[in-house]
């Protein structure tokens, strides 16, 4: 389990624009999947639990943290599933 360090102004701005709460960020960091980068940074993401056959876009929440644990940015993206019949 990771703990967030400081949160950058950019991350706070993105959170405000996308309607992402501090609680959602904490949940992401606690339960998200982590991809470690070569420079020590980490990309933490949480996929939506919606089943792929639902036929609707699936939101994904991402956070990028540096090696010290500072949250650099947070984004909500939508991945469209194509080719499902």
Q: Where are the alpha helices (DSSP H) in the chain?
A: 9-18, 22-31
Entry pTM: 0.71
Whole-number percent of the chain with pLDDT over 90: 24
pLDDT surpasses 70 at 27: yes
Q: Structural domain boundaries of the chain?
A: 9-79
pLDDT surpasses 60 at 70: yes
Q: What are phi and psi of 82, to 5 degrees?
A: -120, 160
- In tens, the pLDDT along 74-84 reads 988 755 555 54
């Amino acid at each position: 389990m990771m703990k967030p360090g400081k949160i950058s102004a950019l991350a706070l701005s993105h959170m405000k624009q996308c309607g992402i709460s501090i609680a959602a960020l904490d949940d992401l960091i606690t339960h998200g999947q982590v991809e470690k980068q070569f420079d020590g940074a980490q990309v933490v993401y949480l996929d939506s639990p919606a089943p792929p056959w639902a036929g609707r876009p699936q939101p994904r929440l991402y956070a990028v943290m540096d090696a010290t644990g500072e949250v650099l940015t947070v984004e909500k993206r939508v991945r469209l599933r194509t080719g499902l019949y």
